[in-house]
Amino acid sequence: MKRQAPPVRVVTFRIDDRDLSAREDETILTVAREQGIGIPSLCYLEGLSVWGACRLCVVEIAGSAKLVSACSTRVTQGMQVYSNTERLQRYRRMIIELLFAERSHVCSVCVSNGHCELQSLAQQCGVDHVRVPYRNSAYEIDSSNDYFRLDHNRCVLCTRCLRVCDEIEGAHTWDLMGRGIDCRVITDLNRPWGESATCTECGKCVQVCPTGALVKQGTSVGEMTKDRHFLPYLSQMRHAP
């Protein structure tokens, strides 16, 4: 016999100076998005599981010394959230600077120029300079797949590709290898993408990738636009009871 899920309560709380109410199983980020409160995020993508790794959506909670990620924290009764304090803005700018320094994100020669989430986040958060020393990464580009191309130098390790491939397509072609600064995404057991036995070449990873790390073959500077219309629909179908 199927167990009846307990009824979900509605809680009231504040984000910045706005009184809000929501179901207690909603996260701070979903409520903020519904209300048009702009909390920046990068690894989060509606329709995929929560990863909580980019730390751009960190917010302050009154009475708590620790910051929490809005994507993974549920709203509670009486909670007061501060979503955009001077301190948070400073931290977010630094995190974006760290991303720019980690790999080689040169927008002017990128196929995703103008359609890139990292680029718009930098603009949105006011990152006009990078003060941390560049790593000048020079990873080899994997162009072995007939339809798609992987450029590690544009990758932010958000793992959206891993999650969409595993959770929506069900192929689990993508994985992470290495640790710390040496982390990178791989296909199968670090074989060239074109030789992958599991990849269905559906292209979902390319569409969810926020930057120019995963792109279609044959695109030139600024030509790569991404289309994610499939995601809410497929996500709903996969998670249907």
Partner 1 sequence: MASVEGERGQPSPRPPYPAESGLWGYPTLINNVETLANVPAILRRGGEWFAGIGTEKSKGTKVFALAGRIQNTGLIEVAMGVTLREIVEAIGGGVPDGRKFKAVQTGGPSGGCLPEQFLDLPVDYDTLREAGSIMGSGGMIVMDETSSMVDVARYFMEFCMSESCGKCIPCRVGTYEMHGLLDKIAKGHGTQDDLALLEELCEVVQMTSLCGLGQTAPNPVLSTLRYFRREYEEKLAGNDAPAHGHAAKEATA
> 142-161 mask for partner 1 (x: CB under 8 A)?
--------------xx----
**If you ran DSSP here, which 8-state letter would residue 153 be given?**
G
**If you ran DSSP here, which 8-state letter would residue 165 be given?**
I
> In the beta sheet, which residues pair with residue 21?
12
Q: Which residues does 229 contact at the CB level (< 8 Å), separation at least 6?
A: none
Which one-letter amino acid corresponds to residue 239? H
Pick one of 133, 140, 189, 197: the residue that binds partner 1 (CB under 8 A). Answer: 133
Does 99 participate in binding partner 1 (rule CB under 8 A)? yes
Pick one of 2, 3, 9, 131: the residue that binds partner 1 (CB under 8 A). Answer: 131
Question: For partner 1, which is the closer residue by CB, 101 or 234?
Answer: 101
Does 15 participate in binding partner 1 (rule CB under 8 A)? no
Q: How far is CA 71 from CA 32, 46, 48, in A?
A: 10, 10, 12
Strands in 18-23's sheet, in edge-to-edge order, are 18-23, 10-15, 80-82, 58-61, 68-69
Rounded CA separation 148/161 (Å): 13
Helix H or strand E segment including 189: none
Pick one of 12, 172, 176, 217: the residue that binds partner 1 (CB under 8 A). Answer: 176
Does 54 participate in binding partner 1 (rule CB under 8 A)? yes
Pick one of 183, 195, 232, 239: the residue that binds partner 1 (CB under 8 A). Answer: 183
Total interface residues for partner 1 by CB under 8 A = 45
Question: For partner 1, which is the closer residue by CB, 59 or 148?
Answer: 59
Q: Where do contacts with partner 1 occur on this chain (CB under 8 A)?
A: 50, 52-55, 58, 67, 69, 71-74, 90-91, 94-95, 97-102, 106-108, 119, 122, 127-135, 156-157, 176, 178-183
